[in-house]
């Protein structure tokens, strides 16, 4: 919409995303905009300008000559670079807009160089280092992790991924006449296993300190230690889902291409990387959209102390919402 804000009969509500987050299509549209890798090239000055526009608009201040489209563009940039709970600018490699380019290079390397031990160790180390950055940057709530937790989470996920990859590689070597495609799928198994370790460990404080739960108007009702038990499995499933197209379909496609007359071994790395990039461009926003970012939970499913607190309020809500993280 190119309508000027001063001429709007009803001002846009930017406290919520532009698209309906109760529908899968709406969530996909939202993540296609915020996970767009072009957002990485936006200067800090433009990000700060977008931040100021959003924060001032929430206070009722805005340029009357600004268009609705300009307002939503500023909100998209704000959502892509600033944490939804803390409002802090996120580290650039931890933003969802960095997922496609970074994972494209890392996954392309993992799927191409999966046979030699030094290559396996190097690429899994790089991958888990990147995952640790993403998991910490996109944690739910306002909790700061101590150095010990960060190191344990990082080491646990890296060790788990390497153990899984090396174990599967060892078993395949012992398996006579094993289909070649199975060796190509080992990195996916390692990634899935590592995500199940890394994300819960990186976010373990949420189970002790809780994450904020809000009513439908955005008012904080308290902190729940039950909500993370719903949020973290959703994030794990989404992360594993992101990897399925490029780490399962990608190797299958490359296996077929390797049988063609024009294929040469030197084409493996660029072809695998390009395949990963193409598939990640779609799987990242689609899998981020599998579950609502602001997920809901019935009040009677929360811990008893928080239930009592909420039920004592005037007009207590029956459902509350929490940011599940990414």
Q: What is the mean pLDDT of residues 208-227?
A: 87
Contact 5, 57 (CB under 8 A): no
Structure-block tokens of residue 149: 């937790």
pLDDT for res 28: 93
Question: How confident is residue 181, by pLDDT bands cut at 50, 70 and 90?
Answer: confident
Q: Give pTM, 2 decimals.
A: 0.77
Q: Indicate if the pLDDT at residue 49 is higher than 90.
A: yes
Query: For the residues of 50-92, what is the DSSP string, one character each?
Result: HHHHHHHHHTT---TT-BHHHHHHHHHHHHHHB-TTT-PBPPG
Q: Indicate if the pLDDT at residue 143 is higher than 70.
A: no
Contact 279, 250 (CB under 8 A): yes
Place of tokens 């399962």: 248
Q: Indicate if the pLDDT at residue 24 is higher than 90.
A: yes
Structure-block tokens of residue 28: 């996909």
Question: How confident is residue 216, by pLDDT bands cut at 50, 70 and 90?
Answer: confident
pLDDT tens digits along 52-101: 999 998 888 888 888 888 989 999 999 889 987 788 888 898 888 898 89
Is 321 in a helix, a strand, or coil?
strand
- Distance, in Å, from the CA atom of 258 to the CA atom of 86, rounded to the nearest integer, reads 48
Q: Indicate if the pLDDT at residue 136 is higher than 80.
A: no
């Amino acid at each position: 919409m190119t309508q000027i804000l001063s001429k709007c009969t009803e001002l846009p509500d930017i406290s919520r995303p532009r698209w309906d987050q109760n529908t899968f299509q709406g969530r996909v549209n939202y993540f296609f905009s915020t996970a767009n890798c072009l957002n990485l090239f936006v200067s800090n000055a433009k990000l700060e300008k977008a931040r100021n526009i959003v924060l001032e608009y929430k206070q009722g201040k805005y340029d009357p000559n600004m268009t609705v489209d300009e307002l939503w563009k500023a909100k998209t940039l704000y959502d892509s670079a600033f944490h939804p709970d803390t409002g802090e600018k996120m580290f650039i490699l931890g933003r969802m807009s960095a997922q496609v380019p970074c994972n494209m290079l890392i996954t392309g390397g993992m799927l191409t160089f999966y046979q030699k031990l030094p290559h396996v160790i190097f690429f899994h180390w790089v991958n888990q280092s990147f995952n640790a950055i993403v998991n910490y940057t996109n944690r739910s709530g306002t909790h700061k992790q101590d150095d010990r937790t960060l190191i344990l989470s990082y080491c646990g996920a890296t060790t788990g991924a390497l153990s899984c990859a090396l174990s599967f590689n060892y078993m395949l070597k012992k398996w006579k006449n094993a289909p070649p495609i199975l060796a190509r799928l080992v990195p996916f198994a390692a990634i899935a296993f590592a995500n199940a370790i890394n994300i819960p460990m990186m976010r373990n404080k949420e189970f002790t300190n809780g994450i904020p739960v809000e009513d439908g108007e955005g008012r904080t009702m308290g902190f729940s230690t039950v909500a993370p038990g719903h949020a973290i499995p959703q994030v794990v499933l989404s992360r594993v889902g992101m990897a399925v197209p490029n780490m399962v379909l990608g190797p299958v496609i490359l296996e077929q291409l390797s049988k063609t007359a024009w294929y040469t071994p030197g084409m493996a790395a660029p072809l695998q990387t390009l395949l990963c990039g193409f598939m990640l461009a779609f799987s990242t926003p689609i899998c981020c959209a599998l579950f609502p970012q602001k997920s809901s939970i019935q009040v009677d499913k929360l811990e008893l102390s928080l239930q009592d607190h909420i039920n004592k309020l005037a007009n207590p809500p029956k459902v509350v919402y929490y940011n599940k993280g990414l």
